[in-house]
Chains A and B, each alone.
Chain A
Amino acid sequence: MKTPRLRLPRNWLGPAALLVLVLFPFAMALITGQPVTEGAPKFWQGMLAQMFILAVYAMSYDLLLGYTGILSFGHAMFFGTGAYLTGILLKHAGWPLWQVGLAVMAAAVLQSLLVGLLSLRVRGVYLAMVTLAFAQMFFILSEATDFAQWTGAEDGLHSIPAPRWMNPTDERLRFYFISLAFCVAIYLIVRRVVESPAGKVMIAIRENENRAQMIGYNTFVYKLLAVTLSGVLAALSGLMNALWNLNANPTMLSVGVTINALLMTIIGGVGTLVGPMLGAAILQLLGYWLNAFFGPRWPLIFGIVFVLIVLFLPYGVVGTWQMRGASWRSTWAERRRRLAGWANEGGLGRKN
């Protein structure tokens, strides 16, 4: 006689993970015996809060790369601009946080529309280059001494006066829950978007832009939409990041930050939403451990890991997980074909 298996609802994994994350600080406190607002529990709350922020950033990138098939190398500009604007408005203008949030979103819409209008005129790797150039422009400007009184030039902005009730140092637990809520909310929004008709068009563009155009969609508008949405989300994660670090510096606008987005997306799995979030967690943890092991040169090891993943694990952790089981080989081949097709038709392909 078969033992009856416990049947779980189809999508139990998400709520379960959420539950684990909600209970995490208290479980941690219970295990270590330390109070929930101090010591190891506090430290790990910080780690996780950073993961949530990075997860939003990674999701915003995957909306471009994984769902619309746009390879942008300028994502750091939205993240960094969000962080800088938060810092400047809080520190120099003294605005309340909700106004800052609106301003960051408005600025991100403007910025991504501008960059999108210019860079979407080209495709494929051209677009990557052009977006990189724009991002570098912001990076250079952030270091420029001309705006030092607002941006602090190379030093960046320090001790941003975040509202006391969510100060990450004093109110770590509250910050933890705020960033968790932030991450979950954005996840739900993005999931809603990619499952909406507009999201379907984006995926169609990724699969074959010409075909999507022939069916009658104005692909430019949808790509612009994707760029804008992705820019706004990245800027919001930049805002959260500024609140977490209480500073904004030129590093947040550098290519390294864009590479991080790529890393998280590729490691986790392109074209999924869970993938980038998982990638963010892996990046954060791996960075922490590699730093403990190898000291300040850990990015070297990290880069090597990235290169190996690109060579040998192109579908990331989630992608590879989805391909497990009996249909391993056929799914693998199918994915490979789809990937090749996607790349070919995205204007990156070989010449005929």
Chain B
Amino acid sequence: MTDLLRVENIHTFIGQFHILEGVSLSVPAGSITALLGRNGAGKTTTLRSIIGLLSPRAGRIMLDGREIQGRPAYDIAALGIGYVPEHRAVFRDLTVEENLKIAERRKGDLDRRSDLIFDLFPDLKRFIRLPGGQLSGGQQQMLSIARVLVADNRLLLIDEPSEGLAPVIVENIIEALRRLSDHTTVLLVEQNFRMAAQLADRYYILDDGQSVQSGQMAELARDGALVAKYLGAG
């Protein structure tokens, strides 16, 4: 399997704080790779560094063998990376339809993908005219995921999709992500270890801004000690 994304030893600062102190990981094409770690370990910062909302001061990020670090976020995203941030970041005053339309990179993207999107998330079709801010948390999460499906993205960066959602809705989202993984590659940040274990093929663990451990998800799920050490009670 070839690596779609390779992150090599990046260092990222926020203000004067050195947040990432050497993170390396690789995401094979067609896989779901989970990025695990405690709060403040640097998971979100890693995703933001990849998409270009933060610029790493050192290290390399390669998409398909091409260096992308240091370029503006819109440039990196246009190469085919979709970003689903934590807290969904749905545009509150835009309708569901506009929230989807804004993600088009070519005219007609939404029409091409609407079958897939509304099949995955039928709720969105029902509320198509509603402002994003009036959706429930779960619907907003669905919209946020649907938004990155509109354009042709090779890689999806998904940050905490289960956060603050009821278990039933989490199941929905797991199902949707599982179906998605047939089409695309996912780098998933998740606190909910059970969810990550259900979905991911491979994992990386971050601790204190460094990548400390990686391997097959199935092995990690069996290794209670390791989970307890880095992730707290699983």
Contact = CB atoms under 8 A, between A and B. Distances in A.
- In the complex, is A directly touching B at CB under 8 Å? yes
Given A337-B15, A341-B16, 7 more contacts: A334-B16, A337-B13, A337-B16, A338-B16, A340-B15, A341-B15, A344-B15
A99 B13 CA distance: 56
The A interface is mostly helix, strand or loop, or mixed, namely helix
Contacts of A334: 16
Interface string A191-228: 00000000000000000000000000000000000000
Nearest to B57: A333
Interface residues of B, number: 3
A344 B14 CA distance: 11
B133 to A, nearest CB: 16
9 contacts: A334-B16, A337-B13, A337-B15, A337-B16, A338-B16, A340-B15, A341-B15, A341-B16, A344-B15
Interface string B101-142: 000000000000000000000000000000000000000000
A298 to B, nearest CB: 40
B93 to A, nearest CB: 14
A330 to B, nearest CB: 12
Q: Is the interface of B mostly helix, strand, loop or mixed?
A: loop
A337 B15 CA distance: 6
Interface string B1-38: 00000000000010110000000000000000000000
A320 to B, nearest CB: 20
Contacts of B16: 334, 337-338, 341
Interface string A311-338: 0000000000000000000000010011
Nearest to B15: A341
Interface size class of A (residues with CB under 8 A): under 10
Contacts of A337: 13, 15-16
B59 to A, nearest CB: 18
Contacts of A344: 15
Nearest to B53: A352
Nearest to B13: A337
A73 B232 CA distance: 51
Residue from the set A334, A337, A338, A340 with the largest chain B CB neighbour count within 10 Å? A337
Contacts of A338: 16
A334 B17 CA distance: 11
A340 B15 CA distance: 7
Contacts of B13: 337
A337 B14 CA distance: 9
A86 B16 CA distance: 47
A351 to B, nearest CB: 11
A209 to B, nearest CB: 15
Interface string A338-352: 101100100000000
A208 B70 CA distance: 28
A338 B16 CA distance: 7
Contacts of A340: 15
A29 B229 CA distance: 80
A106 B135 CA distance: 55
Interface string A235-262: 0000000000000000000000000000
B112 to A, nearest CB: 31
A337 B16 CA distance: 6
Interface string A147-162: 0000000000000000
Nearest to A334: B16
A308 to B, nearest CB: 26
B16 to A, nearest CB: 5
A273 B225 CA distance: 58
B11 to A, nearest CB: 14
A340 B13 CA distance: 12
A65 to B, nearest CB: 20
Q: Which 3 pairs, one residue from A and one from B, show the smallest C-beta to C-beta distance?
A: A341-B15, A337-B16, A337-B15
